[in-house]
Homo-oligomer: A and B are copies of this chain.
Amino acid sequence: MRRERIFLFDTTLRDGQQTPGVDFSVEDKIAIASMLDDFGIDYVEGGYPGANPTDTAFFAKRRTRNARFVAFGMTKRTGVSAANDPGLAGLLQSASDTICLVAKSWDYHVAVALGCTNEENLENIAASVEAVVMSGREAMVDCEHFFDGYKANPDYALACAKAASDAGARWVVLCDTNGGTQPEEIRTIVASVIAAGIPGDRLGIHAHNDTGQAVANSLAAVEAGVRQIQGTLNGIGERCGNANLVTLIPTLALKDVYASRFETAIDTDRLQELTKLSHAFDELLNRSPDHQMPYVGASAFATKAGIHASALLKDPRTYEHVTPESVGNLRKVMVSDQGGKANFINALKRRGIVVGKDDPRLDRLITIVKEREATGYAYEGADASFAILARRILAYVPDFFHVESFRVMVERRFDANGQLKTVSEAVVRVLIDGEETLSVAEGHGPVNALDLALRKDLGKYQHEIADLELADYKVRILNGGTEAITRVLIESTDATGARWWTVGVSDNIIDASFQALMDSIVFKLLKNRDGAVAAAAE
């Protein structure tokens, strides 16, 4: 049976613009349009030319090579002809292939927001679509609030959709603008639209995630006959976001219930670029990636439970719904309180340490890890600290240097100009091969000062740590209140691009930070000597 084509429509640059904290510059939009175009998205909706200077500038040129470049705007106003409507004129002037007009399809909105009659709204829709068609461009209409409008006045909502379709719109998009529609309702209402005479291959779905079901609603609409899905990269969008294309694309491609019936422009080769696309988008916007995002998240294929690990080692099909490689992601097996012996052995193997399951030192390591984790250590997020601990018990770690003592001071006082300033200073006494060095450093805060002082003069090891950098620092207070334990996690990098995490736990935050900093330096020195250790760092 021939598979039907689903068209992917990305509105990251238009509806995604409404995301709290997101503001695209023209350069941002050019870069993102290019990423989407290269990936194979069918339609790239670039924005609203005429509504703001950025979008108007963005639409001065066509910004995609293969994807249809879409300009968004409103249907003409009442009492003005299509030829004389300035909004429409702006759209027709833009360097777009396709024009998408948003139309009211809820009678309440027509009255309150537009202040015109239901009939006038239908005329505005028809005339606007005709104007676009006559200009030689592809026309689409987003029927805003379609599902709520249908529930309130089904005949009128259908009339709006038909007005668009009859006037020549290639696509009529049913929008769940408030995001509250349920999958069951999507299916029923889409079926009614098709029964009313607009075929599914002219219908699109635009879902929002206000009940956590934008993806499900999009798929329900497809099951009911719709053939265009609108969404955004990483599900950005206002309120709870738009439908996440990064979730929809692999689901359509890899899940048999859809893959057997439908195809998109994203073939299995392109699909392997998905994780890269998702991460590149977050990088560009300086957004923290969602580690738990389906398919592409850092944790999407990470498993912790000891009860899974042994089976997983034998056949990943038993624990993974798709292979991570199919979407360009990686499998991760983590160490933790929950780890069974098999988990530990595997974790050690990946760090270049081979140990037999009956080796008594293995039991000792497991016991120490569990005891420490009960006091606050979290080795799962501190790969490098785990590697050092494991090597100390199962192999050998050289005594590179000793910190005999340290002193950290934070002082807040008035300076010579009468300004209040805070200074942080650390003094460290280090013993290397019987020789003592004393170093002092200033920093933004006490931990920064301690870090700089520790790494200021490590004698014969100094050149080895020259490229060591603290990349990230996280603090967690456990058991709150006055009996608090502080857990510090530090991420370090070096010139090779490797990244590793270390942990420290104490009731004293400086002490906890000190432990994590020490492990960071020791790991760097181990890494410089031992290929297996280096290989284990990403």
Query: Within the assembled complex, what's the spacing in Å between the Cα atoms of A415 and B470?
Result: 31
Closest chain B residue, CB of each to CB of A336: B23
CB of A144, distance to nearest CB on chain B (Å):
9
* CB-contacts of A168-204 with B (<8 A): 177-180, 182-185
Contact residues, A32-47 vs B (CB, 8 A): none
Bound together, the chains give a CA A446 to CA B508 distance in angstroms of 7
Pairwise interchain contact B257-A184, C-beta atoms closer than 8 A:
yes
A80 to chain B, nearest CB (A): 18
Q: Are A182 and B219 in contact (CB under 8 A)?
A: yes
Tell me if A477 and B286 are in contact (CB < 8 A): yes
State which of B303, B475, B486, B506 has its C-beta within 8 Å of the C-beta of A477. Answer: B475
User: Does A185 lie within 8 Å of B257, measured CB to CB?
Assistant: yes
- Bound CA–CA A307/B75 (angstroms): 13
A183/B183 in contact, CB under 8 A: yes
A392 is an interface residue with CB less than 8 A from chain B: no
Contact at A319–B178, with CB atoms within 8 Å?
yes
A275-316: CB near B (< 8 Å → 1, else 0) gives 000000000001010011111010111111101111110110
With A212-B244, A213-B215, A473-B484 already in contact, 16 other A-B pairs whose C-beta atoms are closer than 8 Å: A21-B378, A54-B374, A109-B312, A112-B315, A113-B310, A180-B255, A211-B247, A212-B294, A213-B219, A239-B301, A407-B409, A410-B508, A412-B514, A446-B510, A473-B477, A473-B480
A405 and B412 in contact, given A303-B238, A321-B210, A374-B53 (Cβ under 8 angstroms): yes
This chain's copy number in the assembly: 2
A534: CB under 8 A from chain B?
Answer: no
Asked if B470 contacts A482 (CB within 8 A), the reply is: yes
Q: Point out the residues of chain B lying under 8 angstroms from A406, CB to CB.
A: 411-413
| A471 is an interface residue with CB less than 8 A from chain B | yes
- Given A182-B219, A216-B216, A293-B240, are A113 and B312 also a contact pair (CB < 8 Å)? yes
Q: How many residues of chain A get a CB closer than 8 Å to chain B's CBs?
A: 126
Taking the closest CB of chain B, its distance from the CB of A340, in whole angstroms, is 9
A265 on the B face (CB < 8 A)? no
Interface centre among A109, A113, A406 (most CB of B within 10 A): A113
Contact (Cβ within 8 A) B424 A508: yes
With A53-B374, A319-B178, A473-B481 known as contacts, the answer to whether A299 contacts B112 (CB < 8 A) is: no
- Judge whether A414 and B409 touch: CB under 8 Å: no
For A20, the chain B residues whose CB sits under 8 A away are 291-292, 299, 302, 304, 334, 380-381
Interchain CB contact under 8 A, A211 and B321 = yes
Q: Which residue of B lies closest to A339 (CB)?
A: B52
* A496 contacts chain B at the CB level, 8 A cutoff: no
> Does A330 sit at the interface, judged by CB under 8 A?
no
The answer on a CB contact under 8 Å between B216 and A213 is: yes
A292: contacting residue among B239, B320, B484, CB under 8 A: B239
Closest B residue, CB atoms, query A18: B304
Residues of B within 8 A of A514 (CB): 412
**A239 and B303 contact, CB distance less than 8 A:** yes
Closest Cβ neighbor of A478 among chain B residues: B25
Shortest CB-to-CB span from A67 to chain B, Å, is: 23
With a CB–CB cut-off of 8 A, which chain B residues contact A244?
Answer: 212
Q: Which of A209, A240, A314, A474 is the most central at the interface, judged by chain B CB atoms within 10 Å of its CB?
A: A240
Residues of B within 8 A of A215 (CB): 211-213, 216
Q: Contacts A303-B239, A479-B27, A511-B422 hold; do A409 and B412 have CB atoms under 8 A apart?
A: no
For the complex, what is the distance from the CA of A470 to the CA of B53, rounded to whole Å? 34
The reply to whether the CB of A444 lies closer than 8 angstroms to some CB of chain B is yes
Q: Which 6 A-B pairs have the closest CB atoms?
A: A180-B321, A216-B216, A405-B413, A445-B508, A113-B311, A410-B510
> Which A47-82 residues sit within 8 Å CB-CB of chain B?
51-54, 74
Query: Is B257 touching A182 in the complex (CB atoms < 8 A)?
Result: yes
* A337 / chain B contacts, CB cutoff of 8 Å: 23, 52, 54
Tell me if A225 is interfacial: C-beta within 8 Å of chain B: no
Q: How far is the CA of A255 from the CA of B185 in the complex (A)?
A: 11
A510 touches B445 (CB 8 A): yes
Contacts of A292 in B (CB 8 A): 20, 209, 239-241
Shortest CB-to-CB span from A210 to chain B, Å, is: 5
Cα distance A487–B303 in the bound complex, in angstroms = 32
CA distance A292 to B507 in the complex (A): 29
Cβ contact within 8 Å between A216 and B183: yes
Task: Judge whether A461 is part of the interface by a CB distance below 8 angstroms.
Answer: no
Contact assessment for B18 and A307 in the assembled complex, using a CB-CB cutoff below 8 Å = yes
